[in-house]
Amino acid sequence: MASAFEYAPAPESRAIADIAPSYGLFIDGEFTDAADGKVFKTLSPSTEEVLSEVARAGAEDVDRAVKAARRAFAKWSALPGSERAKYLFRIARIIQERSRELAVLETLDNGKPIKETRDADLPLVAAHFFYYAGWADKLGHAGFGADPRPLGVAGQVIPWNFPLLMLAWKIAPALATGNTVVLKPAETTPLSALFFADICRQAGLPNGVVNILPGYGDAGAALVAHPDVNKVAFTGSTAVGKEIARTVAGTRKKLTLELGGKGANIVFDDAPIDQAVEGIVTGIFFNQGQVCCAGSRLLVQESVQEELLDSLKRRLSTLRLGDPLDKNTDIGAINSAEQLARITALAERGEAEGAERWSPACELPSSGYWFAPTLFTGVTQAHTVAREEIFGPVLSVLTFRTPDEAVAKANNTQYGLSAGIWTEKGSRILAVANKLRAGVIWSNTFNKFDPTSPFGGYKESGFGREGGRHGLEAYLDV
Amino acid sequence: MSDRTPERLTVFKTYKLYVGGKFPRSESGRVYEVTDSKGNWLANAPLSSRKDARDAVVAARKAFGGWSGATAYNRGQVLYRVAEMLEGRREQFVREVAEAEGLSKAKAAAQVDAAIDRWVWYAGWTDKIAQVVGGGNPVAGPFFNLSSPEPTGVVAVLAPQKSSFLGLVSVLAPVIATGNTAVVIADERAPLPALSLAEVLATSDVRAPLPALSLAEVLATSDVPGGVVNVLSGRTAEIAAPLAAHQDVNAIDLAGADEALAKELEIAAADNLKRVLRPQPVDDWSATPGTDRMTAFLETKTVWHPTGSLGASGSSY
């Protein structure tokens, strides 16, 4: 289908993000080389251009950072909550001031469209710091006792899909409650965390309160296993989450895990179809589907399947894939060659197992990592594309006849992170929401986030909540 | 020949497991000797097997839908009914606790009284915990957003080893008050109060909302509560291992595990990411508990819905 409108290119200027040719680890308030001198390159996934060379943390650096965080802990935790709050308010403000720069940077390093970093990631990052800043001097009112204490040093490992937002989800509550942190960003997206280190400097945050260690899985493993870490927070794959749970077994480390998902987006026959289509698109194509709470399984009531799929395909044909810095781009690049290979392999498996594959006519750029929006129809619950988290722009369509069947199919997964319900009938929304075993349920909407709203999974999607009053518990000795 | 009447020979009780509302022997046919604190024989308790543990999980899973779906008010009524039944058998429990833990009658009575009061305490929590830990979230957009606690599912509970009754009640009551179902491994050394507790649970009406039924009626319907609480006796380490590794168990309370066993079980529990409550140092089970033992086995579900805006043009979805 021909594009409804031809758009002239409208690229955001990348000049606003001044990326240095190299970056160090951020330990005890200073940028420093890795002890063994190792470095790695970070690429722009949309062009494969090298953006910068970054120091790669090893076990020795982890130890140095944990020691710095431990030294900083005594003073930081003893500060009156109102003073910690002011540091966090400062950070929130500086993020707002620099949000255009950070949005461009994140788009370059991650590959997601500027529309998303500008309108979703960055506003949420600032809001998260604002929200938790306000808790710092009100912890006695949070329902965890009159004077809840921090845990100590928090070791935090975050993924590449929302680099700065995941950093905010981890660091803001940790600092508000009086902990100090050592955070490892993902190896494909280290830059925004390093820019955040600079924001900590501008805010005058005491040295050692925040330490940033770019690196690979080995650095994450060393951080999680470090004996002087009191709290481990991880967002990432379920397989790694299980490994971390085994590592901390038998210790006193407190653990929270935000892991994978295979969210069901359930469309009943009385749903407003146009709005549902928008919700389905948001659910699985936001951030190229590289979202743990993505609505990657569409469960549609049989009687409206045809109408809905026609409408959905029409809509997908209008999505614009390409330069992430272009303000009109809907679908950006896949974050890495490795992730692209995984998505490609799982989609091929879907075809091989007999599901029907469809993508809109869509030209992919010649360099960079790209995957066209993809639908699988005729999918059964046994198909790999209905069971495994693909973490890409791939939607599996299943059908159902009765609400009971929809619930049974939605819950037929090891995961339990998110779900969507589309119907005009209020009582049905409440009844279905009640039966779904998932931590976040969007009814007649999808992929909405807010710092006040607790987020986290049931079953193998992990445990603990981030966001809201609930999110404080992970960082308090309760 | 003496003309005195011989002392009456007492009738011993055969203690059994409590699984799915029934009182089976261990499928293994094994028993082990239970003695009082001085080493005198008290009874033979079933020595549960891995199969008994799996059967108990099946029963607990089967009961989860009904129990978690019951109203909080109903659960409160049922828990209160348990306290009533215990009060009626107070003397029996005082004797069993005294024998098991080597306590004076007065000290054992204090333990039993505290345990009965604890059931009452948790009975009162069932319809309040959601208000305390849940609530509306003021999101920055036109959305209704509500977080509510939900029970996590089937919880394996290793009862404390040093408080055969009060400790047991203190770990079990919070698990079921919030709508979970439980597989409990009784204190290995002193399982009799736990097994007797099962009898009390069986006579407490876990379904009918009206607790003011006569005891006879309760007994007549005593198969109904089946599966909400399942009690196993035997070697804690032997039974706990299959429970910690079981893919259909959602959480595990390690109160009764020593350090080495707790670590081993926590590693096994990682396989399906069970919620793990590690052993906590407890000096005194009679101290008023906080809400931690309830929140440890609660999930938080957050539901969003657009609020719409009257008078504005178009839909606000």
Q: What is the CATH number of the domain that holds A323?
A: 3.40.309.10
Average of pLDDT values for A21-29? Answer: 98
Contact residues for B39 (Cβ-Cβ < 8 A; gap 6+) = none
Write the CB contacts of B188 (distance below 8 Å, at least 6 apart in sequence): B161, B233, B234, B235, B236, B256
Q: How close B232 comes to chain A (CA, Å)?
A: 25
Let me know if residue A83 belongs to a domain. Answer: yes
pLDDT, chain B, mean = 85
**Domain total in chain A:** 2
How many Å apart are CA A127 and CA A124, to the nearest integer? 5
* Separation between Cα atoms, residue A292 and residue A273, nearest integer Å: 25
Where residue B217 falls among pLDDT bands split at 50, 70, 90? Answer: very low
- Most A CBs within 10 Å, among B129, B300, B307, B315, to test the A interface: B300
pLDDT tens for each residue of A204-238: 999 999 999 999 999 999 999 999 999 999 999 99
- CA-to-CA distance for A203 and A209, rounded, in angstroms? 12
Residue A81 has pLDDT above 60, yes or no: yes
B314 CA to centre of own chain: 52
Quick one: tokens of B167? 């400790």
* DSSP secondary structure, A196-225, as one string: HHHHHHHHTPPTTSEEE----HHHHHHHHH
Q: Identify whether B176 is part of a domain.
A: yes
pLDDT at B226: 83
The reported pLDDT for the residue numbered B2 is: 55
Q: Which domain holds residue B108?
A: 31-306
Answer yes or no: is pLDDT of B259 > 80.
yes
Helical H runs in B70-188?
72-88, 90-101, 105-125, 129-133, 166-177
Q: Identify whether A232 is part of a domain.
A: yes
Check residue B225 and give its pLDDT: 61
Quote the pLDDT of residue B133: 97
- A383, A255: one domain: no
Least confident piece of the model among B75-79, B197-201, B257-261, B273-277: B197-201
Residue A1 placed within a domain: no
Is the pLDDT at B313 greater than 60? The verdict is: no
Convert the pLDDT of each residue in B111-124 to its tens digit.
999 999 999 999 99
Q: Which amino acid is at B228?
A: V
CA distance B304 to chain A (A): 5
Q: pLDDT, tens digit, for every residue of A183-198?
A: 999 999 999 999 999 9
> What residues of chain A lie within 8 A of the CB of B262, using their CB?
250
Q: What percent of chain A has pLDDT over 70?
A: 99
B51 touches chain A (CB under 8 A): no
pLDDT of A424 reads 95
List the end-to-end C-alpha distance of chain A, in Å, as a whole number.
Answer: 58
- Do A443 and B303 count as a contact with CB atoms less than 8 A apart? yes
pLDDT-based confidence at residue A88 (cuts at 50, 70, 90): very high
Interface check A360 vs B, CB under 8 A = no
Residue (of B260, B86, B88, B249) closest to B168 by Cα position: B86
CATH of the domain at A138: 3.40.605.10
A442 vs B269, B270, B304: nearest CB: B304
Q: CATH number, domain at B204?
A: 3.40.605.10
Going from the C-alpha of B235 to that of each of A238, A409, B24, B38, the distances in angstroms are 32, 39, 17, 20
pLDDT digits (tens, 9 = 90+) for A42-55: 999 999 999 999 99
- Tens digits of per-residue pLDDT, B89-139? 888 888 888 888 889 999 999 999 999 999 999 999 999 999 999 999 999
Kindly give the residue spans of alpha helices, DSSP state H, lying in A136-237. 163-176, 191-203, 217-225
* B312 located within any domain: no
Q: Mean of the pLDDT values across residues A9-17?
A: 94
A316 within 8 A of A362, measured Cβ to Cβ: no
User: What type of residue is B283?
Assistant: D
Per-residue pLDDT, averaged over A275-291, amounts to: 97
Tally of domains within chain B: 1
Its domain, for residue A99, covers 22-259+458-473
H-only helix segments in A317-454: 337-352, 384-387, 403-411, 426-435
Residues A37 and A140 in one domain: yes
**Cα angle: B4, vertex B8, B13; to 5 degrees:** 170
Average of per-residue pLDDT across B261-284: 94
pLDDT for A474 beyond 70: yes
> Among candidates B184, B177, B143, which has minimal Cα distance to B56?
B184
Distance CA(B183)–CA(B188), nearest Å, equals 14
Asked if residue A392 and residue A289 are part of one domain, the reply reads yes
Contact A249 B300 (CB under 8 A): no
* pLDDT for B317: 47
> Given the DSSP bridges, would you call strands A180-184 and A374-377 parallel, antiparallel or unpaired?
unpaired
Digit-coded pLDDT (tens) for A110-140: 999 999 999 999 999 999 999 999 999 999 9
Distance from CA of A274 to the nearest CA of B (A): 10
3-state secondary structure of A322: coil
Mean pLDDT of chain A: 97
- Whether residue B5 is contained in a domain is answered as no
CA atoms within 13 A on the CB side of A83: 10
* Burial group, residue B131, by CB count within 10 angstroms (0-12, 13-18, 19+): exposed
Catalytic positions of A: 258, 292
Is B7 within a domain? no
pLDDT over 80 (residue B224): no
Burial label for A424, CB within 10 Å (0-12, 13-18, 19+), is exposed
Instruction: Tell me the shortest Cα–Cα distance from B17 to chain A, in angstroms.
Output: 29
Which pLDDT score is estimated for A190? Answer: 98
pLDDT tier, A470 (very low <50, low <70, confident <90, very high otherwise): very high
Please indicate, yes or no, if residue B148 is contained in any of the structural domains.
yes
pLDDT tens per residue across span A416-451 = 999 999 999 999 999 999 999 999 999 999 999 999
Q: What is the pLDDT of residue A3?
A: 54
Same domain? For A251 and A274 the reply is: no
- A470 contact B CB<8A: yes
Residues 247-276 of A with CB under 8 A from B: 249-250, 252, 257, 259, 272, 275
pLDDT given at position A144? 95
Inter-chain touch B272–A459, beta carbons under 8 Å: yes
Looking at residue B283, its pLDDT comes to 75
Partner A, chain B 121-150, Cβ-Cβ below 8 Å: 132-133, 135, 137-141, 143, 145, 147
| A257 confidence band (pLDDT: 50, 70, 90) | very high
Residue A274 lies in a domain: yes
- Is the CB of residue B221 less than 8 Å away from at least one CB of chain A? no
Give percent above pLDDT 90 in chain A. 98
Tell me if residue B151 falls in helix, strand or coil.
strand
